[in-house]
Amino acid sequence: MTLRATGAVLALLVAVAGSPKAQSPRGETVIQTTSGRVSGIATSHDVVAYRGIPYAAPPVGALRWRPPQPALPWTGIRAAVEYGPPCFQAKWKGPSPDLTAMSEDCLALNVWVPPHKPGARLPVMVHIHGGGFFAGAGANAEPVDQVALAAQGVVLVSMNYRLGIFGFLSHPDLSKESPAKASGNYGLMDQIAALRWIKANIAAFGGDPGQVTIFGSSAGGSSVLYLMASPLANGLFQRAIAQSAAKVFSPLKYRNGARFGYESAEAEGVRIAPDIGSLRALPAGEVLAKAKSLMIPGDPATLEFWPTVDGHLIPAHPADLFELGQVANVPLIIGNTTDEGTLFANGHAARTAGEWREFARRAYPVGGDDLLAQYPAARDTDVFTSVSRYVTDWIFAGTTRGVARAMTRPGRRVWRYEFTRVNRAAWPFPDPPLGAFHSSELGYVFGELTWRGPRPNPYDATDRALAKAMSATWVRFARTGDPNGGELRSWPQDVPNSDRRMAFGDTMTFSVDPNAAALDAYERVFTKMRQRER
């Protein structure tokens, strides 16, 4: 359905109902969407939540590994009080949603609406969950409180999207049956479908479809950058925040060509299943069992099912697109945490110096010796530090800096940050310490630091003040396209080769990145890798 047709349908439904908002017999607010009417549920702060709204048809049967299709309409009032089931995924050691109800029929989103005057057009913030593109959900699986952020005057949306083999399988048979002659990236297609749903429907919830901010951490942050680089997402958002984005200014797999020493994503798909028809006929659980990843445990560089350069949704390597200015021209906040890699180093397969050398050359067929030169480990006791710094610099900070530098071209606006606060509610790894670990900024961004552990609440006044400042900054950016104002000290836009960033930590300080020399080394290595591929 085209956007014009979608708008026409919405106008017709509104005319029939008399108003996009009404009261159900039980008193809940009822919203008319393009697929049918929904009622919400009251939460704290007078925020109304609408949960589990389908934004696309169930991607099952013949729709498995195909672009998302329009949601099926319903009659009557749909009680949107329960989250939709999480998308099919394997259990892992990190924080996961309740997988007892996981399903392929999972393409649903959630909307949190704060109190507002009739006719209001509030800024819209769309949260894309993390989980390495193989785990997670749009519900409360991550340590965040969506209500607290929405209560600051934004309409907040989250969504599920297909994960792992269901979301990112490439295969020559799938490419042949595609009108675009491309396969893979179905999870990103789902995100785009959700954004189209938001554009068509969010005004009925009090949101402004012309003032949409996409944001997320980890795979959510990477999704933000991939959407910026995708021509299929043009016009669906006006601002972007990428937190701890990974593998964008990094070696990537291509759909149909061996690059950076990796086999093509299609060749990888053939190894899993020579015949896509037989794989499509299997129950989801058996498909998941076939997708036992060959990734090296604990290392995000070696994930098999990840967005690929498919020549369609992602037309070229994102680093090239950013550097050429061929990405969405929207204001961007981008940053990472100081100690991204500690969380991965604890579970990394490389425990000895020999295993570290083996890993480097296997994970980076092009660049492994360069990696070892930058992060050597002469003794086994050196491995944790080498792994954690490598992951921080090569996987996360390298992308932050590369994108920020590319976005300093004339006519672009970008603000760079680093989260430096040591979150004392860290996962229980007493030794070695985790520092400002991967995704530890999430609770601060959402503005309410919840604590469910057995120990006394570890957050203090500094944590609460930082959470208040960060969440207010994110909301201000969503409202105005500029993070400055309020309690935040001046945060200038990034300029070419400055390496200056706002540090969100015990204090908020704008200064030169002390890790600049290490990132120079990564930039040289990545440049050499790219030159070999040209």
Boundaries of every domain in the chain: 34-349+395-532
In 23-59, which positions are buried (b, 16+ CB within 10 angstroms) versus exposed (e)?
Answer: eeeeebbbbbbbbbbbbbeebeeebbbbbbbbbbbbb
Instruction: Give residue 426's pLDDT.
Output: 60
CA-wise closest residue to 87 among 157, 183, 159: 159
Torsion angle in degrees (nearest 10) through CA of 70, 75, 81, 82? -50
Q: By three-state DSSP, how is residue 389 classified?
A: helix
Largest CA distance in the chain: 73
Cis peptide before 25 (omega within 30 of 0): no
Q: How far is CA 375 from the centre of its chain?
A: 28
Closest CA to 451 of 439, 462, 463: 463
Pick from 87, 70, 73: which is nearest to 2 by CA? 70
Res 5: pLDDT: 35
3-state SS record for 267-336: HHHHHHCCCHHHHHHCCHHHHHHHCCCCCCCCCHHHCCCCCCECCCCCCCCHHHHHHCCCCCCCCEEEEE
Residues 480 and 329 sit within 8 Å (Cβ to Cβ)? no
Pairing relation of β-strands 207-217 and 239-243? Answer: parallel
Beta bridge partners of 227: none
Amino acid at 366: V
Residues designated catalytic: 218, 340, 438
Q: Residue 73: phi, psi to the nearest 5?
A: -70, 160
Instruction: Give the neighbor-by-neighbor strand order of the sheet with 29-32.
Output: 21-23, 29-32, 37-39, 77-79
Do 175 and 265 contact (CB within 8 A), yes or no?
A: no
Q: 315-318 — which CB contacts under 8 Å span 24+ positions?
A: 315/230, 315/231, 317/252, 317/530, 318/225, 318/226, 318/229, 318/248, 318/249, 318/252
Question: What string of pLDDT tens digits covers the 534 residues of the chain?
Answer: 333 333 333 333 233 333 345 554 444 689 999 999 999 999 999 999 999 999 999 999 999 999 999 999 999 999 999 999 999 998 876 666 778 889 999 999 999 999 999 888 999 999 999 999 999 999 864 556 789 999 999 999 999 999 999 999 999 999 999 999 999 999 999 999 999 999 999 999 999 999 999 999 999 999 999 999 999 999 999 999 999 999 899 999 999 999 998 899 999 999 988 899 999 999 999 998 887 654 555 677 777 799 999 999 999 999 999 999 999 999 999 999 999 999 899 888 899 999 999 999 988 888 899 999 999 999 999 999 999 999 999 999 999 999 999 999 999 999 999 999 997 766 554 566 789 999 999 999 999 887 766 677 788 899 999 999 999 999 999 999 999 988 777 999 999 988 999 999 999 999 999 999 999 999 999 999 999 887
User: What SS3 state is found at 96?
Assistant: coil
Q: Is 19 exposed, middle or buried (0-12, 13-18, 19+ CB in 10 A)?
A: exposed
Spatial separation of the C-alpha atoms in residues 161 and 171, rounded to whole Å: 20
Cross-strand bridge partners of residue 416: 334
Q: What are the φ/ψ torsions at residue 64 (nearest 5 degrees)?
A: -65, 130
List Cβ neighbours of 338 (8 Å cut-off, separation of 6 or more). Answer: 392, 418, 419, 420, 435, 436
pLDDT of residue 292: 67
**SS3 letters for 177-244?**
HCCCCCCCCHHHHHHHHHHHHHHHHHHHHCEEEEEEEEEEECHHHHHHHHHHHCHHHCCCCCEEEEEC
The CATH T-level fold of domain 34-349+395-532 is Rossmann fold (3.40.50)
Q: So what's the pLDDT on residue 95?
A: 65
